[in-house]
Amino acid sequence: MSFLAPALLLGLLATLLPPLIHLLNRREPRPVPFAALELLRRAHLRTARRARLRQLLLIALRALLLAALALAMARPYWESRVEGAAPARVGAEGAQVLVVDLGYAMGLRVRGGEGEETLLDRARAHALRALDEARGPVGLVTFGEKADAPFGEPSGDRSTLREALLRLSPTPAAGEPAEGVWAAFGLLRARPAAEPKRVLLLTSPRAARAALPPPPPELGAVEVVAVDLVEGSAAEVGRALGNRALLQARVWPAPQLGAGQWAVEAEVGNFSDERLDLWPISVEVEGRTLVRGFVSLAPGEVGLKRMSFKVEEGAAGTGLRGRVRLAPDALPIDDARPFWISPAPPTRLLALNGDPRPVPHEDELFYLRRALAPEVTGEGRFEVRAEPSEGLAVSPEALAAADVVLLANVPRPSRALGADLLRFVEAGGGLWLAPGARAEASRWNEALAPLLARPLREARRAGDAAASVRDRAAARLTQFERGHPLLAPFPDPLRSTLPQARVLTYQLFDPAPTPKTAVVATLDEGSPFLLTREVGAGRALLMGGPLDREWSDLVIRPDFVPLAQHCARFLTRRAPERGVEVTVGRPLLLDLSGEGPFYDLSPEGERAPLTPAEGEGARRWALAAARGLGHHQALDAGGAAAARFVVTLDARASDLRAAAPEAARARGAAARREGRAEARRDLWPLALFGLFVLLALEALTLSRGARAAGAPARR
């Protein structure tokens, strides 16, 4: 029996009130001998026992009345177990299908009768027992990366099924119980509708309590039963299913911390009923531990752990394999996350300087040069070539040797320059636009219209226009498009130093949206500050100010360094240096240069061909489904690495705890609608009926007592 409002059971304490009131009002009379009343005392003694029983009955009725009221308000109900936690029934009649989960959660180690065993071991034992005791044909369905029925419809070949069950092992996939149940329904379609049918689901406790699909009506009566693989009290089950997991690990260059520095952000989940105190976590590269730490989490809490480490210059010449690791627990497969530290070809940036200055720190490109300098980024990462320009033209040779072109406060770009840049970007190049005080908005709009994310308007001074220049407040970056690739180095942009930048003047843009554009960052005054646009095979980035300190102090903030570096990388369409991440079993698209063919090399040394992605351009290659956890490489025909990526777990299955009572009630309601088993029965109407019965008994007792008190004394 359960309750919809268990907190109201505290009302049962009210049952103590009638006895307390009776005891408090009870007065012991002081005996005073009086001869005239001796006859009355003797008559009272004859009826005292009956009166005392009536009083005790009234106290009990009133206490039960209050208890019934509290129970009715708590709304008790009785729910039969529809699909969850039922043992395999002995001698099941008719056809049945064993549905076994092969997801990685089934590798959880729990204590058994003879030591430790996995959930899959328990599922196998239940399946073998059901197979031995079945009186009809039996089928088998497994689900992990996909639902599979290896032997087709149910049959009587017990030995083949037994051998298949003994060979089962967990896969790295998460597993979807609904897919397995649907496959079981498919095996039962060929059976007669009048025949009893049964689907036995063997999965983790949480997955067993998920909503399952109803059987099609044409199948007739189908019983769906999920076996409880972890039996015991709530505390014992909570300890058995306790799991700590690495849900995600993000690694990116951190040049603001020094040359060769990398930042790590690990998302850790404590899926247990016990607090996690100082649990070890570490980062290793090529088998060598570079940094160690600890994480503490409350029961059920998910938190972030940030660390940093250094890789020596030149060490990543052929790519380095790394992992973030938690101390192992009962499910070790989700205690590690792989990542790549891959070399990237140098990004060649051609900067057209529209405001060169003889004083170095006043030059338009001074801070950008510092952000991309070899002593900050490492040797061979960026090659910056600067040319003073009024925006008239640029040589074809200079464009051919550049990956990214920067227009830094160029005053008057010509139409010829705009046409050259348009061809350059459409062919896959990147264009970085940073207008400033010298930029003429009309000339920019005329020459660069196909490349601008928004047409330019006039520049605006931040703050209240009615205030004096001295009293005006600076604008701040307060809105960011989280998840945009341009902000990849910043897991939480609001916690970086970007919002600390003081923007005194900024460029206004036309509010009308342009196709294939995105607003990445916005000022608190509502004006966009960072915008991107897709143009052909290339990209264009538009900023709301120049790259010097004339309009803002953004360039002196520490996080301008990773922002500037990643802007250049983003415009080249190259994969981030930390590599691409894909969940096991999911498809993957890669940007690869060359005609191919390309192959995927798994950690086990197996090769899978990549195919050109239809409608994605010649540089996009697809992997149908990622297989094999760990570090992968996309190889060209000569065996050289064209790209690197990692295949990771689907973290949804790491939470093995049983579903909440609300979810169980919802599942029972769904089963009730489908008519597959007994429905939930509300008991609170019985409590209300008992309340009325007790009221009637109390009234009857009081009326009988009143009649007895008012009756004339017998002589």
pLDDT of 541 over the 90 cut: yes
pLDDT of 332 over the 90 cut: yes
The pLDDT value given to residue 430: 95
The pLDDT value given to residue 458: 94
Using 50, 70 and 90 to split pLDDT, how confident is the model at 88? very low
Asked if residue 139 is part of any domain, the answer here is: yes
Average pLDDT over every residue of 548-577: 87
Amino acid, res. 122: R
Q: Per-residue DSSP letters for 9-22?
A: GGGGGGGGHHHHHH
Residues 411 and 529 in one domain: yes
pLDDT of 659 over the 70 cut: no
Q: What are phi and psi of 674, to 5 degrees?
A: -80, -15
The pLDDT value given to residue 6: 65
Please state whether 34 falls in left (phi above 0), alpha (psi between -120 and 50) or beta: beta
pLDDT in tens, 479-491: 999 889 889 888 8
Q: What is the mean pLDDT of the chain?
A: 83
Average pLDDT over every residue of 45-65: 71
Asked if residue 577 is part of any domain, the answer here is: no
pLDDT of 215 over the 80 cut: yes
Q: Where is pLDDT greater, at 558 or 39?
A: 558
Residues 325 and 428 in one domain: no
pLDDT of 311 over the 90 cut: no
In three-state form (DSSP H/G/I as H, E/B as E, the rest C), the secondary structure along 288-326 is EEEEEEEEEECCCCEEEEEEEEECCCCCCCCCEEEEEEE
Using 50, 70 and 90 to split pLDDT, how confident is the model at 472? confident
Residues 338 and 356 in one domain: no
Average pLDDT over every residue of 292-315: 88
Residues 339 and 351 in one domain: no
In the listed set 343, 378, 412, which residue is the last one of a domain according to the structure? 343
Closest by CA position to 509, among listed 531, 524, 493, 490: 531
pLDDT of 172 over the 60 cut: yes
In the listed set 343, 362, 392, which residue is the last one of a domain according to the structure? 343
CATH number of the domain residue 538 falls in: 3.40.50.880
The pLDDT value given to residue 666: 43
Q: Where is pLDDT greater, at 667 or 151?
A: 151
pLDDT of 99 over the 80 cut: yes
Average pLDDT over every residue of 348-376: 92
The pLDDT value given to residue 232: 63
Percentage with pLDDT > 70 across the chain: 82
Average pLDDT over every residue of 371-381: 82
Average pLDDT over every residue of 488-503: 91
Residues 353 and 274 in one domain: no
Is the separation of the CB atoms in 81 and 668 below 8 Å?
no
Show the DSSP H helices in 627-683 as ranges.
661-674
Using 50, 70 and 90 to split pLDDT, how confident is the model at 149? very high
Asked if residue 650 is part of any domain, the answer here is: no
Residues 144 and 208 in one domain: yes
Is the separation of the CB atoms in 217 and 669 below 8 Å?
no
The pLDDT value given to residue 675: 34
Average pLDDT over every residue of 439-447: 95
Using 50, 70 and 90 to split pLDDT, how confident is the model at 26? low
Range scoring the smallest mean pLDDT among 74-78, 137-141, 337-341, 359-363: 74-78
Percentage with pLDDT > 90 across the chain: 48
Q: Where is pLDDT greater, at 4 or 384?
A: 384
pLDDT of 410 over the 90 cut: yes
Q: Where is pLDDT greater, at 241 or 343?
A: 241
pLDDT of 109 over the 70 cut: yes
Residues 408 and 554 in one domain: yes
The pLDDT value given to residue 682: 64
Range scoring the smallest mean pLDDT among 329-338, 571-580, 693-702: 571-580
How far apart are alpha carbons 263 and 307 in whole angstroms? Answer: 6
Average pLDDT over every residue of 617-632: 83
Average pLDDT over every residue of 154-172: 92
Asked if residue 484 is part of any domain, the answer here is: yes
CA dihedral (410, 411, 416, 419) in degrees, to 10, reads 50
pLDDT of 477 over the 50 cut: yes
pLDDT of 594 over the 80 cut: no
In sign, the C-alpha dihedral spanning 652, 653, 654, 655 is: positive
Asked if residue 13 is part of any domain, the answer here is: yes
Asked if residue 651 is part of any domain, the answer here is: no
CATH number of the domain residue 226 falls in: 3.40.50.410
pTM value is 0.62
Q: Where is pLDDT greater, at 116 or 549?
A: 549
Residues 464 and 362 in one domain: yes
Structural domain including 206 reads 95-237+658-679
Using 50, 70 and 90 to split pLDDT, how confident is the model at 679? very low
Is the separation of the CB atoms in 131 and 355 below 8 Å?
no
pLDDT of 669 over the 50 cut: no
pLDDT of 199 over the 50 cut: yes
Asked if residue 551 is part of any domain, the answer here is: yes
Asked if residue 492 is part of any domain, the answer here is: yes
Range scoring the smallest mean pLDDT among 129-133, 135-139, 407-411, 464-468: 464-468
pLDDT of 87 over the 90 cut: no
The Cα-based distances of 431 to 355, 368, 414, 513, 624 in angstroms read 18, 15, 16, 19, 33
Q: Where is pLDDT greater, at 576 or 682?
A: 682
Residues 43 and 170 in one domain: no
Residues 559 and 592 in one domain: no
The pLDDT value given to residue 18: 74
CATH number of the domain residue 314 falls in: 2.60.40.10
How far apart are alpha carbons 347 and 572 in whole angstroms? Answer: 8
pLDDT of 81 over the 60 cut: no
Tokens coding 126: 């239940």
Average pLDDT over every residue of 224-230: 86
Residues 164 and 220 in one domain: yes
The pLDDT value given to residue 475: 94
Is the separation of the CB atoms in 351 and 368 below 8 Å?
yes
In terms of Cβ atoms closer than 10 Å to its own Cβ (0-12, 13-18, 19+), residue 469 is: exposed
Looking at the structure of the chain, the number of domains it has is: 5
Using 50, 70 and 90 to split pLDDT, how confident is the model at 661? very low
Residues 479 and 405 in one domain: yes
